[in-house]
Amino acid sequence: MTLIISLLSGALVYAVSVMYAGIGETFSERAGIMNLGVEGIMLMGAVTGYMTAVSTQNLALAFLVVLFTGAVLGLVFAFLTVTLQSDQTVCGMAMLTFGTGLSGFLGKNVAGVAANLKFENIAIPFLSDIPVIGPILFQQNLLVYAMYFIVPIAMFYIYRTRYGLKLRALGENPAVLDAGGENVFAMRYGYIIFGSVMMAISGACVSLGSTNFWSSGMTAGKGWIAFALVAFSSWNPLYLTLGALLFGFISCLGSTLQIYLPNVPTEIYSALPYVATVIAFILATGNFRKKHTAQPESLAVPYDRESR
Amino acid sequence: MKIKFRKERREKQTIIRTILTSLLFTVLALAACGIIIAASGFNPIEVYTKMISKVFFTGRGIRKMLDASLPLMLCSLGVALTFKMNLNNIGAEGQYAMGVIFGGAFAMYGPRIDGFAGILMLAVCCFAGGALWALLCAIPRALWDVNESITTLMLNYIALIILSYLCLGPWKAAGQNVGQTEKLRAGLELPALGGAKVSSGIVIGVVAALIIYMIYKSTTLGYQMSVVRYSQGAARFAGINIKRNIILALVISGGLAGLAGCLQYAGVSQRIMEGMPNNAGYTAIVIAYLSKLNPLAIIIVSILFAGLQNSSATVQVMGVPTQIATMIQGTIMLFVIAGDYFQRYRLIRVKEVES
C-alpha cells in the first residue's frame, strides 16, 4: 500500500513539474507562437532559482527571481518572433542552446552545493488524514497545490471568458482580431511572456521542489515531454493534466519495478518515459484518417500586417 | 518632431551583405557574452585571448580543431538537408549514437575484413544505423504527419541510454573505470593525412559537402526538395512524390549523422564512449542555421565551431566552466537571428511633423 502511495505521489510531483511548462506552452501556442525552447527556459528558471536560494536562503526571493528570469527570456523570444517575425523553430532552437549553455555556465558554482532550502511538503490538516488519497494529494508542496487551482482557472479562462475567446482567435486568425481593433502584437507578447514564466516555474519545480540540487542539464528532456504533451492534449489544459499524470506514472514506475525485477537493466526503466512519449505522441497526433486536429491554424506563422 | 522608422522589404539579398551582417552580429554576440563572463567574475578579454591563441594559432590546436570539426560537419550537413525541406531533424545526436553502435557491432562481431574494404563496410554500417534511427521518425512523419521534432528528439535520449548501457555493460573494456570500449583494431582505423597528423576524415567531410552541394544544384532530387520546401501544393500538383522526398531527406540526414559517428570512431577516438556525441547533434543545428544551409559554408562554420568547442577546454584551468562554448553558440544564434531581420528589411527614417 505504501508502495502505491509513494508511486502515485511521485507521479503527481513529476506531472506537476511538466504541467507548468505544458500550460505555459499551451497558452503560447494558442496565441499562435510555438516555443521550442521550453527546455532551455526551464533550465534557466531552475538555475537562477537555485542560485538565489543558495546565496540568500530566501525562498520567496528565489521564486521571484525565477519569475523574472522567465519574463526576460519570454521578452527576448517575443521580440524575435513577434517584432522581428523570425522563424519560430529556429528561435526556439536558439533559446534552447542559449538556455542550456548559460544555465550550465552560471550554475557551475552551485553544482553539488546543497541549498537546504526548498518548497517543503505541507500536510493539509484533516484532508491529509483521508486514507490513500490524503497522503497522495494533500501532503505535497505549494507548487503542487497551486496547480490544483491553475488547471481549472486555465480551463475557465480559455473556454469561458471573453479573453479566452480572443486568445483562441489569436492562434487561429490574428487578422480578424486586428481588424476588430485588438492589438495583436501586444497580446502575443503577453502570452509568450506568461508562457515563458510558467516554463521557468517548471524549472523551479525541478531544482527547488522534490529534488533539491542543481546539475547541468538536470531537466533531462522534461521540457520536450511538456512540449509533446501540449499537442498530445489537443491544447487543452484538462487533457494535459491527464497526459502529464500518465507520464508521471510511467516514469515513476521504473523505480518501483526495479524492486520486483532486479535482473532487468536499469537503462530500460530510464528509457521508458521517452519510449512512451514517442508512441503516445504518434498515436495521439497521427493523422490516420484525415481527422480534424485542434492545432491552432496560425501556429508558428508570424503575423505581418503587410501580407494580410 | 518625432523620429519614427518604417521598414521596407529588400529587393534581393546579396551574399556579401549576408556575410557582413552575420559577422557583425556575431561580434555583438561575443560582446554580450563578454558582459556575462565579466559578471561572473572573469576578465572577458583574458578569457577570449586565451581561447583564441591556444586553438587558432598553434599547430596542435589547428590539428585538433580539424579533427573535432568532422562530426559537426557531417551532422550539420544532414540537419541542413532536412531544414531545406522545412523538416526539423533535431535527432542528429541520437542518430550519431546509433551509427556508432552499429559501427561498433560491426567492428566487434562482424567479419574480420581490414583495409579499405573494411573501413568502407564500417562506414556503411554507421550510415545504416543513423539512417534506421531516422527512419523510425520519417515514416510517421511522411504517412501520418507526426511532428518530427518531438520524435527525433525523444529518440536521442533513447539512443544515448542504449549507448551508455553498452559502454558500461557488455562492451566495456576490461580493467577500465570509465564507460568505454576496447580500442578499434588497427586494420579499421582511418589513416592520418600524410604527415599532417590530421585524420583523413576531413577529406570525406569536404567531399560529402561537395556532393550535397552538387545534389542541390544540379539534380532532380535537389530541385524537387526545393519545390517541396516552398510549396507543398505546387509540389503535389507537379507530381512530386512528397512522402518519398520526406523519407529520403530524413533518412539521408540520419545516415550522415551516423557517418559522423564513424569518422569520430575510426578516425579520432578509436573507442566508443558513453555520451560520445557530446552535443554535436545540437551544435549541428546552430551551424546549419548560421551557414544558411549552404554545404560549403557548413565546412567553414563547423571548423570555427570546433575551435570554439576546443577552446572551452583551454580556459577551464582558469575556472571558467566548459559550458561557455554552448552559451556562446546560443548567444551567437540569437543575435544572428535578430540580424537576419536587417537582411530582409531596411529601416527608413520617417519624419513626422506635428501640425
CA B306 to chain centre: 10
d(CA B204, CA A44): 38
pLDDT tens sequence across B188-216: 777 777 666 777 788 888 898 999 899 88
Distance between CA atoms of residues B59 and A246, nearest Å: 55
> Does B323 sit within 8 Å of A105, measured CB to CB?
yes
pLDDT of res. B134: 93
Q: Cβ A282–B144 below 8 Å, yes or no?
A: yes
Whether the Cβ atoms of residue B277 and residue B261 lie closer than 8 Å to each other? yes
Lowest-pLDDT choice from A214-223, B21-30, B90-99, B278-287: A214-223
Q: pLDDT at position A289, please?
A: 63
Task: Name the residue ranges covered by the structural domains of chain A.
Answer: 2-112+142-307
Residue B36 CB neighbours (<10 A) = 17
Whole-structure pTM value: 0.88
What is the Cα A174 distance to its own chain's centre? Answer: 25
The tens digit of pLDDT for each residue in B316-331 reads: 878 788 888 888 888 9
Burial B108-135 (b: 16+ CB within 10 A, else e): eeeeeeeeeebbebbbbbbbbbbbbbbb
With beta carbons under 8 A apart, name residues in chain A contacting B340: 84, 86
How far does the CA of residue B90 sit from the closest CA of chain A (Å)?
Answer: 9
ipTM above 0.90 for this complex: no
Query: Is the minimum CB–CB distance between B149 and chain A shorter than 8 Å?
Result: yes
Instruction: Over range A55-70, report the average pLDDT.
Output: 89
As a whole number of angstroms, the distance between CA A82 and CA A75 comes to 10
Give the rounded percent of residues in chain B with a pLDDT score beyond 90.
21
Q: Where are the alpha helices (DSSP H) in A108-183?
A: 133-137, 142-160, 162-172, 174-179
- A28-54: per-residue pLDDT in tens? 999 989 898 899 999 999 999 998 888
* Contact predicate B6/B347, CB 8 Å: yes
What is A2-112+142-307's CATH topology?
Answer: ABC transporter involved in vitamin B12 uptake, BtuC (1.10.3470)
**Looking at chain A from residue 219 to 238, which residues have their Cβ under 8 Å from any Cβ of chain B?**
220-221, 224, 227-228, 231
CA–CA separation, A20 vs B43, rounded Å? 38
- Name the band, by pLDDT with cuts 50, 70 and 90, for residue B298: very high
Average pLDDT, chain B: 85
pLDDT digits over A171-196, tens only?
888 888 888 888 888 999 999 999 99
- CA distance to partner chain A, nearest, from residue B192 (Å): 33
Query: What are B151-194's pLDDT values in tens digits?
Result: 998 899 999 999 988 888 888 887 777 778 877 777 777 777 76
pLDDT at A2 over 90: no
pLDDT at A45: 92
Q: Which pLDDT score is estimated for B175?
A: 76
Residue range A89-108: mean pLDDT, rounded: 88
Q: What is the rounded radius of gyration, in angstroms, for the C-alpha atoms of chain B?
A: 22
So where are chain B's domains? 69-292
Residue ranges of E strands in chain B: 2-9, 192-193, 198-199, 345-352
Mean pLDDT along residues B281-290: 89
Q: What is the pLDDT of residue A292?
A: 58
